[in-house]
A = this chain, B = another copy of it.
Amino acid sequence: MAEHSFQAPKGTRDFYPTDLALRRRIEHAWRSASVDFGFDEIEGPTFEHLELYTAKSGEGIVSELFSFRRAGGENDYALRPEFTPTLARMVAAKAGGLPTPVKWFAIPMMYRAERPQRGRLREFGQWNIDLLGLEGAAVDVEVIGVAILALERLGLTARDVQVRLSHRVVIGRVLAALGVAAEKASDAMTLLDRRDKLDAAEFQKRAEALGLSTEAVQRFDAVARAAQPLAQSFDALAKSIGVEVDAFSALEEIRVAAEHAGILEWCTVDVGIVRGLAYYTGTVFEIHEISGAERAIAGGGRYDGLVELFGGPKMPACGFGMGDVVLANVLSDRGLLPKDPATLLPQPDAFVISAGGDADRFVAPLVRRMRMAGLHARTSYKATRNVGKLLSDANKVRARFAIIIGAEIADGRVALKNLASGEQQWIALDDVVTACARIACAS
């Protein structure tokens, strides 16, 4: 058996307890923000029929997928590379039977057969938010708002991350004003999308290939790099790239809604944000760590034609995906992860200690009663009955209380020691579960 078989496959992760506790913390922020916004959680299969992906993206996508066929089976499958096709399939399957709006979230694992690199693994967790059945800037802003709430709960502020926004209609009007012919609009968006990956000369060459004059290429370059707070008026921007301010009206509506929803300071307009995927139809956005040091934390927007594409009813929709890998990097960069990751693990309510002798036989029943009452109770597996050593073990696992059963058990009493304050009280054995439950509840 080759040595590599004892390791996790390249680009996947083993989550030991503290690793998983961090992932669960992120998931908890995602889930609680989703629920507080009134989204319901869904899930789908980890693998889908391969055609679900090739139908929309063509055969070219196959090389980016982990695809397979069961021995002797007829169907090709693929591990899901994104959740949106599953979501569209699930909406389509219920056709008109779902209440409107549909507000769904999911926290699935995703799979991409790419070369692993910083922020990009072969298996990763992704939070998906989708709000279907409604149009309008207020809905787009609600979708952005739920992302912001989760990031806030993880300790991030508008000085750490920004939502970089654009709008397909605005981009279209700006490109038209620059003289890009309708049939070249799609090529121009692709070029905008790749602007950070090309050097100035290459960008200029490709912009010229769109049939633009030298002067228009300069304005196109300005568009590609135009960014300003959403709070700021579009007058100067419109003037600098030579279009009517009216071209920005769709983003103007987003601004009004964002101000109303109290998230204006989190938003930056970045006209060059296009989002590669062909299915966006309106607002598009990415969330970035402010220095740009990491990849995008999230990306999404409005995709009004998608459900129909998968055989469902015509249904407007807006949503995003947020991955766990980049987000964990950003939290680390910003010093928002605990120095001692063990503090992320669940804290025991009580550690039960026997001082030996007759006390021993009271341990297992007490531990069972505590656990039945919903308390996290531990005891020692060691042979020692040295109370000092056992108290030190209780502290090591960060127990709130130690319950020490000693000779006083003859009178039905045990010692309840608060390990944070050091306070110790005598309490009837029969009352100790209730006492711990009361304190655990209050904390």
Contacts and interface: CB of A to CB of B under 8 A. Distances in A.
Contacts of A262: 364-365, 368
Contacts of A41: 17, 20-21, 24
Contact of A68 (B35, B66, B86): B66
Interface size band for A? 35 or more
Contacts of A134: 381
Nearest to A261: B364
B8 A44 contact: yes
A62 interface: yes
B123 A376 contact: no
Count this chain's copies in the assembly: 2
Contact of A111 (B8, B46, B86, B139): B46
Contacts of A20: 41-43
A355 interface: no
Given A46-B123, A68-B68, A75 B32 contact: no
A323 to B, nearest CB: 16
A57 to B, nearest CB: 12
Interface stretch (A48-56, A241-249, A273-281): A48-56
B368 A261 contact: yes
A60 to B, nearest CB: 12
A346 to B, nearest CB: 5
Interface stretch (A87-95, A221-229, A282-290): A87-95
A14 B44 contact: yes
B149 A47 contact: no
A37 interface: yes
A145 B5 CA distance: 34
B45 A12 contact: yes
Contacts of A381: 101, 134, 139
A320 interface: no
A63 interface: yes
Contacts of A139: 381
A246 to B, nearest CB: 26
Nearest to A311: B6
A54 to B, nearest CB: 8
Given A38-B348, A123-B46, A260-B364, A5 B52 contact: yes
Interface of A: 1-2, 4-9, 12-17, 20-21, 23-24, 32-33, 35-38, 40-49, 51-52, 55, 62-63, 66-68, 70-73, 75, 77, 79, 86, 89-90, 92-94, 101, 104, 109, 111, 113, 123, 134, 138-139, 145, 149, 152, 260-263, 310-311, 345-346, 348, 361, 364-365, 368, 370-372, 374-378, 381, 397
Given A12-B45, A20-B43, A70-B113, 16 more contacts: A5-B52, A7-B89, A9-B45, A12-B44, A14-B43, A14-B44, A14-B45, A14-B93, A15-B44, A16-B42, A20-B42, A36-B377, A38-B376, A47-B66, A67-B68, A71-B113
- CB-based closest 4 A-B pairs: A68-B68, A12-B45, A17-B40, A5-B51
